[in-house]
Structure 1
Amino acid sequence: MKNIKLSIAGLTKRYGSFVALHPTNLEVPEGEFLTLLGPSGSGKTTLLSMIAGLSVPDGGQLLINGKDVTYGAPYERDIGMVFQNYALFPHMTIAENIAFPLKMRKLDRATAMKRALEALELVHLPHVAQRFPKELSGGQQQRIALARCLVYKPSIVLMDEPLGALDKKLREHMQLEIKRIHREAGTTIVYVTHDQEEAMTMSDRICLMDGGRIAQLGTPADLYFRPRTPFVADFLGESNLFKGTVVASQGGQVKVALAGTQTELLATTEQPLANGAKVSVMVRPQNMAAAAAAQGASERFSGQLLDTMITGSLTKLYLKAPALSTAPVVLSFPTSIAKHDHALGSSLEFGWSSSDAVAVPETA
């Protein structure tokens, strides 16, 4: 069993009458990449700032390596931080920038420079050691900021929206780079982002937050395929949510009567749901099939095509289907010329397998 690097019990933060973080419990084992994900105001940055020692909690306890640092200064916590702003010293070479934290720890220059060059090897930039920050691209500077953080081998690395200033292509490249560095270094990372795809791509576990509370904690697959609330289902990836009431249940399947319609749907569930329970039936757009491909589906409907959208690799169809919802139903499939032949306003059959529908209780 892995050691617990970070342990949080009942941690809370208030600003006057506003509760920024309700009492929160969380454990992060050694070597894990945990992402704090959520919309603005969800409490993720508040939690990170208390882990870092930049904000003082109003209650609870915070342990790093078993040591109580709840009210300790940042330098007492054995942590490293990487921000969106690279904060490199412009007058120092890259090697000197990376060696700076070791210099502050009174390590001799020869050993510090040796460790700095090793850190540059880790981020695949050994050739820039004698350059200055202004001579590097944004992505390279971000890797240097990470190397500077890793060079003194902190117990936990905290990363606050580190890729927010990069363009989409470079951001995706850096996601893979950070994953590689994490895997090779074995460092424990707590990462903050509001980008769902980024969290899904990089994390061992995601801590999805809402309103100062943890909405759900689990692997990306747990949150994506087995959301516990409509908020989780709606926030993480695109979804169709059909509100209704459970009218029958057997094993891991329930029958749901949709609100305001005569329609009943079958859906899977991993938690017991009694008759009368209010739920949303979640079906991901990519699990829906259109036209001829829908003929073998266990749930089949007809809708009017309202709009189409090509996002690149995916094509999305927006359908009006009163039998399911007043909101448009969204389907998605890989983009191809052969499939892009649906006229706006036309009637289109679509459907899905009931095994791909998940009943999500309205209250956790």
Structure 2
Amino acid sequence: MSSANLKISKLCKRYGDFVALAPTDLDVAQGEFLTLLGPSGSGKTTLLSLIAGLAQPDGGQVLINGVDVTYGAPYERDIGMVFQNYALFPHMTVAQNIAFPLQMRKVDGAAVRKRVAEVLEMVHLPQLAQRLPRELSGGQQQRIALARCMVYRPSIILMDEPLGALDKKLRDHMQLEIKRIHRELGTTIVYVTHDQEEAMTMSDRICLMNGGAIEQLGTPADLYFRPRTVFVADFLGESNLLDAVVTHLDGDQVGVSVRGQAGIGRATVNGHAPRIGQKVKLMLRPQNLRVNASEPADSQIACQLRDIMVTGSLTKLYLAATADAGTSLVASYPTCQLGQHYEIGQTLGLSWHAADAVALAE
């Protein structure tokens, strides 16, 4: 990916005393797929609206391809938008819906027909050109909305929860379709969702927002394996967050004890310099916990099995630390018919590699 074609500098928005977006800096590279992720009220839709020109900022700057569009109208920005509600004209055919943005831009008829045919091929729906929107499925309507956005070749495509109205199977299919189209087009996409799985699946980078500010910006792997805050660790994916205390320092690793139990294990640190005696949260992903591992480990904790749940592809074990029943953990592993079977009440040893655990400042 090359230099940024979307640059945001100190952009902010308030509604009275409420800070919808704190001063924010963000660069999005040409051809990048960036997802704005976060809970309701985190600022992701506000940021998208400011980029689109659907809201006016109280300060800061938006540059698209080096042009200041901070206070420009939406039609003055080189953007396209796809919404959760497809906003197709019900009285127009698919081809007419797609052609509409080109006709507004005074493109001649032959070029319109050619480009409509091209994008219909790209979304794999050329056979539906003469149908009306009511004759299409939800997934087909979403692909037509995407085709209408792509047909005038905007530099940036903004997507606001575009798959929110679809069922899970169709969502999964459309995620693959959007990724395929993104690869073919090479267009920059800024995508808003509250769905963590969707963000992990589709993004080059994730901008995780919290309380009107960027909590962490990085690749899906960065945020998942190396969260910088407890919020990131807790929001993205399933994790065990245990109360712990730093017992010794060793470069980018620390020794920790859980609820005063000595010698529990080791973890990595990310983004802060801890000190001995400091309280931290120990993040352990369920799939990184080994159950009754045969090889010796320098990080381990004894637990009592409280419950077992087979979720399909994964089996989850719900456990409590034997030394402190208030410390609960979840371990998971791929479900296998011939796999190890455990009994409720059984004492199990959980162990982990220091590289798979993260100590986070509280």
TM-score normalised according to structure 1 size: 0.94
Tell me if structure 2 keeps the 8 A contact 1:294–1:352: no
1:343, distance to aligned residue in structure 2 (A): 2.7
**Change in 2 beyond 3 A, CA 1:323/1:180:** farther
Contact 1:245–1:259 under 8 Å retained in 2: yes
Post-superposition shift, 1:227? 0.6
In 2, the alpha carbon distance for the partners of 1:233 and 1:324 equals: 23
Measure how far apart 1:163 and its partner are. 0.5
What is the aligned partner in structure 2 of residue 361 from structure 1? 361
Match of 1:51 in 2: 51
Q: List aligned pairs for 1:54-203, cutoff 5 A.
A: 54-203=54-203
For 1:105 and 1:138, locate their aligned partners in 2 and report how far apart those are by CA, in whole Å.
28
Whole-Å Cα distance in 2 between the matches of residues 133 and 261 of structure 1? 63
Amino acid at match of 1:148: R
Aligned to 1:344: 344
Q: Per-residue deviation at 1:263?
A: 5.0
Write the deviation string for residues 301-352 of structure 1: whole angstroms up to 9, x where unpaired: 2222222222221111110115477242000111122236323233223222
Cα 1:5–1:294, aligned 2, differ >3 Å: closer, same or farther? farther
Query: Are residue 285 (structure 1) and residue 286 (structure 2) matched?
Result: yes
**Which residue type is aligned with residue 278 of structure 1?**
K
Match of 1:206 in 2: 206
Structure 1 residue identity aligned to 2:86:
Y
**Cα offset, 1:8, TM superposition:** 0.7
Question: Conserved in 1, the CA contact under 8 Å of 2:317 and 2:332?
Answer: yes
Q: Give the counterpart letter for 1:279 in structure 2.
A: V
Paired letter, 2:239: S
Deviations 1:79-111 (CA, angstroms, capped at 9, x unpaired): 100011111112211111111110111112221
Q: Aligned partners of 1:294 and 1:38: how far apart in 2? A: 40
Q: For residues 99 and 259 of structure 1, what CA distance do their matches in structure 2 show? A: 64
Kindly tell me: are residues 294 and 85 of structure 1, through their superposed partners in 2, closer, same or farther at Cα, counting changes over 3 Å? farther
CA RMSD of aligned residues (A): 1.7
- Structure 1 residue 246: Cα displacement: 2.1
Pick which of 104-113 and 226-235 moved more. Answer: 104-113
| Cα 1:194/1:323, change in 2 over 3 Å | farther
The letter for the 2-side match of 1:282 is: M
Which residue does the alignment assign to 2:230? 230
Q: d(CA) in 2 for partners of 1:201 and 1:327?
A: 32
Q: What letter matches 2:288 in structure 1?
A: N
Distance 2:69 2:332 in 1: 48
Amino acid at match of 2:98: I
CA contact (8 A) 1:21 1:47 kept: yes
SS of 2:326 mapped into structure 1: coil
Q: What one-letter code is carried by the residue in structure 2 that aligns with 1:28?
A: V
Question: Would the alpha carbon gap of residues 324 and 29 (structure 1) be closer, same or farther in structure 2, given more than 3 Å must change?
Answer: farther
Q: Do 1:32 and 1:204's aligned partners in 2 also have CA atoms closer than 8 Å?
A: yes
Shift of 1:244: 2.2
Residue 40 of structure 2 aligns with an amino acid whose one-letter code is S
Which sections of structure 2, spanning at least 5 residues, go unmatched?
A: none
Distance (Å, rounded) in 2 between the aligned partners of 1:170 and 1:297: 43
Check conservation: 2:265, 2:300, Cα contact below 8 A. no
Paired letter, 2:17: S
Letter in 2 for 1:185: L
The range that moved more, 200-209 or 99-108, is 99-108
The residue that corresponds to 2:275 in the other structure is 274
- 5+ residue gaps, structure 1: none
**Cα separation, partners in 2 of 1:234 and 1:307, compared to 1, 3 Å:** same
TM-score (norm 2): 0.95
Contact 1:301 1:351 in 2 (8 A): yes
Percent identity between the two aligned chains? 67
Q: Is this contact kept in 1: 2:270–2:360, CA < 8 A?
A: no
The DSSP-based 3-state class of the residue aligned with 2:338 is helix
Aligned residue for 1:311? Answer: 311
- SS across alignment from 2:192: strand
